[in-house]
């Protein structure tokens, strides 16, 4: 569900609940103190008492009693003949001792009750009931004030949170990359703030990678270009054909190094594209590992490579091309830094495929393992200084693992060196 839908639903529910609760409360108070039903019940009792009083009065004194009641009461009482009521239903109700009330054209009401054993009716006219307009206005004001207050109390922190996001966005437009948004946990726009912070982190990381890439490229190109320039100068100044050939070979090596850097950069940039996806299909992991190991073993015959396939299932779901590329990077890396032995293991554990490459070299210090998969990162130790590299091989491994919905890990190996793990879901066929 989108953020806008969640905001609408939450606001809608709060407003509806507020209206219901406030309406029930105001209605309860109104019914308790200003109920017309109470007045009607009291009026019926007075009408019954008046009828009883007139019934008990002698015929000659009935008019005197009526005159006295009219003088002392706000209601006008009259003694009329029952023949003035034409409707049979009303006559039947009167004969059963019920009180009937009819509306007059003036807006007033007249209530009738039949005197017991007589063809006479007591008629009492009551003026139009005046509603307590002032009280009603006050309670209506309270009612709407409660609703307005609830909405205000809900929208005020929401407005403040949105203002924080707005200010952070303005700071972002001014290249202030540290403008994170800090919003309380219960805020309805916390997801929006988290998305913004994540975007900010990604952009900062991209800028950092861009700066690192620019620095690395300039550094890596500067050295071979300087050597090429130096070789050209020597070739110009010498007449020795053998020396010229040596300088040409040196230039060729430097060009190959530059070409290798360009290929690494293009490969890394391709994998970083969001449009790139892993082509998941069944692949023979045993054949893939054995074939690649045989080719790489020729490059370093003094480094022994052992293969250990735990799973009886040879076919697994993966992008064979990408997995082979990642495995090649790890094997080449292990061959550089091992002493004598490299071990490759494949196993299935906890519904995951695990491709493991470990060596018996110096390993990677624990405090540097977190950054080892970042692009253009190279550790400053003795072994690293002895080997060329651009710091992209392990970054490519990490990206390939992510394309498989998995991850790349590094641990301490039982062989004494580093243990790299590519892990991805066993049944991931997307």
pLDDT of residue 382: 53
The domain 209-272 is placed in CATH, from the list 1.20.20.10, 1.10.287.130, 3.40.50.2020, 3.40.50.1000, at 1.10.287.130
Residue ranges of the chain whose pLDDT lies below 70: 1-9, 11-12, 16, 30-44, 107, 127-133, 136, 274, 311-314, 379-390, 428-430
Tokens standing for residue 215:
């620095």
pLDDT of residue 40: 53
Among candidates 419, 415, 420, which has minimal Cα distance to 341? 415
Over the Cα atoms of the chain, what is R_g? 47
Q: Report yes or no: 346 and 354 within 8 Å, Cβ to Cβ.
A: yes
The two domains 209-272 and 281-425 share their CATH topology (first three levels equal): no
Residue that the structure tokens 């239903």 belong to? 89
**What sections of 57-112 are H helices per DSSP?**
62-72, 88-95
pLDDT of residue 38: 47
Apex 120 CA angle, 117 and 121, nearest 5: 110
Neighbours of 357 (CB within 10 A): 26
Give the integer Cα–Cα distance in Å for 195 and 325: 33
- Give the predicted TM-score (pTM) of the model: 0.54
pLDDT of residue 350: 86
Among candidates 350, 347, 334, which has minimal Cα distance to 415? 334
* CA distances, 48 to each of 44, 60, 61, 303, 378 (Å): 6, 21, 19, 117, 105
Strand pairing of 109-114 and 120-126? antiparallel
The answer as to CATH 3.30.565.10 being correct for domain 281-425 is yes
Contact residues for 232 (Cβ-Cβ < 8 A; gap 6+): 247, 251
Among candidates 121, 12, 27, which has minimal Cα distance to 66? 121
Give the integer Cα–Cα distance in Å for 143 and 150: 11
* φ, ψ dihedrals at 305, nearest 5°: -115, 120
282 three-class SS: strand
pLDDT of residue 164: 84
Tokens standing for residue 13:
């529910």
Provide the residue ranges of all domains of the chain, joining segments of one domain with +.
59-126, 209-272, 281-425
Q: Report yes or no: 410 and 372 within 8 Å, Cβ to Cβ.
A: yes
Model confidence over 106-158: pLDDT tens digits? 767 888 888 887 888 888 877 655 555 677 678 778 877 887 777 777 777 87
120 three-class SS: strand
């Amino acid at each position: 569900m989108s953020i806008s839908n969640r905001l609408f639903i939450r606001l809608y529910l709060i407003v509806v609940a507020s209206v219901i609760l406030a309406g029930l409360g105001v209605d309860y108070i109104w019914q308790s103190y200003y109920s017309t039903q109470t007045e009607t019940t009291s009026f019926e009792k007075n009408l019954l008492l008046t009828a009883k009083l007139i019934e008990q009065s002698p015929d000659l004194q009935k008019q005197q009693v009526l005159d006295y009641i009219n003088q002392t009461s706000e209601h006008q009482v009259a003694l009329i003949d029952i023949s003035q009521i034409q409707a049979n239903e009303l006559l039947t109700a009167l004969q059963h001792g019920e009180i009937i009330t009819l509306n007059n054209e003036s807006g007033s009401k007249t209530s009738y009750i039949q005197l017991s054993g007589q063809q006479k009716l007591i008629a009492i006219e009551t003026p139009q009931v005046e509603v307590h307009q002032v009280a009603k206005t006050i309670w209506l004001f309270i009612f709407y004030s409660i609703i307005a207050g609830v909405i205000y109390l809900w929208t005020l922190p929401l407005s403040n949170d949105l203002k924080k996001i707005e200010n952070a966005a303005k700071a972002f437009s001014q290249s202030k990359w540290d403008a994170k948004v800090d919003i309380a946990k219960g805020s309805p726009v916390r997801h929006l703030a988290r998305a913004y912070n994540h975007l900010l982190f990604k952009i900062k990381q991209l800028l950092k990678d861009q700066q690192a890439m620019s620095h690395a490229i300039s550094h890596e190109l500067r050295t071979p270009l300087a050597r090429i320039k130096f070789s050209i100068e020597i070739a110009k100044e010498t007449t020795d054909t053998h020396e010229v050939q040596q300088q040409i070979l040196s230039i060729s090596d430097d060009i190959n190094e530059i070409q290798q850097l360009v290929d690494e950069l293009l490969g890394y940039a391709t994998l970083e594209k969001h449009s790139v996806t892993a082509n998941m299909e069944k692949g023979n992991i045993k054949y893939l590992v054995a074939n690649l190991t045989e080719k790489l073993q020729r490059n370093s015959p003094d480094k022994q490579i052992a293969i250990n396939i735990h799973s009886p299932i040879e076919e697994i779901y993966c992008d064979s091309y990408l997995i082979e590329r990642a495995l090649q990077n790890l094997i080449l890396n292990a061959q550089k830094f091992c002493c004598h032995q490299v071990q490759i293991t494949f196993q299935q554990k906890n519904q995951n495929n695990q491709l493991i490459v470990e060596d018996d070299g110096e390993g990677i210090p624990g405090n540097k393992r977190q950054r080892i998969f970042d692009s253009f990162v190279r550790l400053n130790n003795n072994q690293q200084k002895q080997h060329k590299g651009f710091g992209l091989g392990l970054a490519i491994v990490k990206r390939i693992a992510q394309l498989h919905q998995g991850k790349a890990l590094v641990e301490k190996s039982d062989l004494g060196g580093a243990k790299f793990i590519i892990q991805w879901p066993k049944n991931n066929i997307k």
